[in-house]
Structure 1
Amino acid sequence: MHRKTGAVAALAATAIVLAGCSAAEAEPAADGSAAPSGAEASTITVYTSEPQEKIDEIIAAFNEQRPEITVEVFRAGTGDLTARIESERAAGEVQADVLLAADAPTFEGYAAEGLLAELDTADEAALDPAVLDAEGYYVGTRIIPTVIAYNTDAVESAPTSWQELTDPSYADRLVMPNPDVSGAAAFNAAVWLDEEQLGEEWLTALAENQPVIVDSNGPASQAIASGAQPVGVVVDYLVRDLAAAGSPIAVSYPEEGVPFVSQPAGIFASSDEVAASQAFVDFLVSAEGQQLAVEQAYLPVRGDVGTPEGAPAMADIALLNPDLDVIAETKADAVATFNALFQ
């Protein structure tokens, strides 16, 4: 599906330059690895949908290891990011070096169009194979499942399945994010429609309960926490964030399994800072980067850093793993189906 790009040669050339640093010129990084000493200052631009506070923490931790690399950020929702990327492509080339957002099918499409450089990701063997692109154009940086969340003050018995949400008792009590705005919600729509246990029949029955559709996962989680809509569909880390802050909200992982996005990272083929960009991507999936992800309430992409407080072990979560080519091909139609049913 992918096509090789000229950025491979650029990456290889940069790697040779870095390899020229002798062991005597290297200093230990915070994770014990060798970081180049006296490396030239560089600046990379990251397009991301990460919450501002979380991306600020990531950059601060990265700069403890690589202070010579300045990371500039443009933060927006996935829909706005993809629109910006398309606009910049039309004008000439993408102005970012790294994309940290969205879902694997989005990156599959970009790779197929020659928009991404091949990665040389460090420590791949430690990563969950589910987040690795077989052709090496992107790597997942956290597991972000979409789950059922509920207000513990308003709901006595937590729903345990997606099918349960179609019960008439949940009419006018549900909230969901808008797939036109949320990349995760768009991905979920395609996964649900592709899932044999669910499909269009389930989505139609769910629509009959008239969920409130809000722009994104943030407002959806807030509506649940406040009790305005006591049950909803939302990404799990937001539930943990709100519960840790004292909100009466909890998470339920549906027994049919949960769709998930892996917040991939990739380097644009047009980047002039491939080596610095690769260093940033490597930090995201390193043990230290993943420990930070866990501290930020995310489920990790490697098995040696545990899971967030209150979260189940990864082995206890049923993840839905659809064919990503099918999801990429059907996502636009799935969003159209969702909109027809829910709006």
Structure 2
Amino acid sequence: MNVSRAVIGVCAASLSVALLSSCGSAEPGEGDADEVTTDLVEAAIQEGQLTIYASTGESQIEAIVEGFREAYPEISTEYFRAAGTALFNRFASEAEAGAVMADVFMPNVQPSFVQDNSEWFSELTPELVPNSEAWPEEFRTDHTVQVTVESILLVYNTETVDQPPTTWPDVLDERYRGRVVLVDPNASPGYMSWYSVIRDQFGDEFLEALADLDPMWVDTAAVGAQQVATGGSDLAFPNYPSQTASLQASGAPIETVTDLDPTQGITTDVAITADAPNPHAARLFVDWLISEEGYDVMCEDPVFSATVEVEADCVELASNHVSPRWEIPDDEQQEILSLLGR
């Protein structure tokens, strides 16, 4: 699916006038009477605190928080990070008890959690968050904007593979028998989704052929990438840039194949909690995050693609990007596992 992306531009403007000012026809919030002004900045600073709940990668959330602290040092910004299920359980417990601690909620798995519990989150209107106005429909819901994508890729060892696969069917070559690392679909809903997407594209026979390669099964993409880096295997997939970047930076003999058809991408979503203890700080943070300044911070980590066109140095969004399937029926999951011999 080719994805059209809107353009976000941010002018250099004094905060004494506005946090952001319009400077082009594609400018988010242009003409909006309630665009972010110093009133919001002052109200957020008066609150003086911000708490973010996130399941996105540790390096990403640390960089984002540090960037916001630098922009607004008067606001004490903290975060709590946990894997998807643990994060959802903690937030749900607080919401049901009427004791929400989070101002901002940032999952990178199961974005349907927000929509399924929409009463716990604020609708992201241009009046609340001006930069959300131009956000492409493919990457937003009533209560979230999807700010970055981390796309599935294939990892290969440059010393053992002369001509790496350029399509998913290429991985079925007999030369890779016993030399492939696959991440178990039981490891997370994201991985199960990838096998479902691949099954729809290439049929049951493709999954059966993967099983026939006698692969090594692992529970994390990181282990798969490390196995390839040591030369113990030729290929590892499905994998993510965040699991390979540090290995490549260290000089490990690995490279990646990107933009495969299809390419599933995991999105990082951002939402404002309906009962945010610091609602102005939450609004200010979200608008900052989806501005050029916020994207400059997010894209310093060379593993994320932008969901809008920005000047920041993000990884290019895959031309064949598809969204994950988070709601896969149990019987379909069992079929996938059976086809893979799991």
TM bin (shorter chain) = 0.7 to 0.9
Which amino acid in the other structure matches residue 322 of structure 2?
A: N
Q: What 5-or-longer segments of structure 2 have no aligned partner?
A: 1-12, 23-35
1:216 aligns with 2:216: no
Is the CA contact (8 Å cut-off) linking 1:77 and 1:182 kept in structure 2? no
CA apart distance, 1:249: 1.7
The equivalent of 1:56 in structure 2 is 62
CA apart distance, 1:189: 3.2
Could you say which structure has the higher helix fraction? 1
Change in Cα spacing, 1:108 to 1:51, as seen in structure 2 (3 Å) is closer
1:70 aligns with 2:51: no
> Residues 288-339 of structure 1, C-alpha deviation per residue, up to 9 Å, x if partnerless?
111222210111222122545xx5x44xx322436x7xx3432655544444
Give me the whole-angstrom Cα distance separating, in 2, the residues matched to 1:342 and 1:68. Answer: 55
The equivalent of 2:320 in structure 1 is 319
1:192 aligns with 2:193: no
Question: TM-score normalised to the size of structure 2?
Answer: 0.76
Give me the whole-angstrom Cα distance separating, in 1, the residues matched to 2:184 and 2:272. Answer: 28
Which amino acid in the other structure matches residue 65 of structure 2?
A: I
CA apart distance, 1:92: 5.9
Q: What 5-or-longer segments of structure 1 have no aligned partner?
A: 1-22
Give me the whole-angstrom Cα distance separating, in 1, the residues matched to 2:94 and 2:196. Answer: 27
Q: Report percent identity of matched pairs.
A: 24
Change in Cα spacing, 1:255 to 1:217, as seen in structure 2 (3 Å) is closer
Is the CA contact (8 Å cut-off) linking 1:99 and 1:268 kept in structure 2? yes
The equivalent of 1:112 in structure 2 is 116
Question: TM-score normalised to the size of structure 1?
Answer: 0.75
Change in Cα spacing, 1:207 to 1:283, as seen in structure 2 (3 Å) is farther
CA apart distance, 1:183: 4.5
Give me the whole-angstrom Cα distance separating, in 2, the residues matched to 1:276 and 1:180. Answer: 38
Change in Cα spacing, 1:129 to 1:241, as seen in structure 2 (3 Å) is farther
CA apart distance, 1:85: 4.0
1:296 aligns with 2:304: no
Change in Cα spacing, 1:59 to 1:217, as seen in structure 2 (3 Å) is same
The equivalent of 1:329 in structure 2 is 327
Give me the whole-angstrom Cα distance separating, in 2, the residues matched to 1:332 and 1:144. Answer: 26
- State the number of aligned residues: 307
Give me the whole-angstrom Cα distance separating, in 1, the residues matched to 2:164 and 2:15. Answer: 57
RMSD: 3.3
Is the CA contact (8 Å cut-off) linking 1:109 and 1:328 kept in structure 2? no
Change in Cα spacing, 1:24 to 1:54, as seen in structure 2 (3 Å) is closer
1:171 aligns with 2:172: no
The equivalent of 1:20 in structure 2 is none
Give me the whole-angstrom Cα distance separating, in 2, the residues matched to 1:230 and 1:86. Answer: 42
Q: Secondary structure at the match of 1:289?
A: helix
CA apart distance, 1:28: 6.7
Give me the whole-angstrom Cα distance separating, in 1, the residues matched to 2:96 and 2:337. Answer: 28
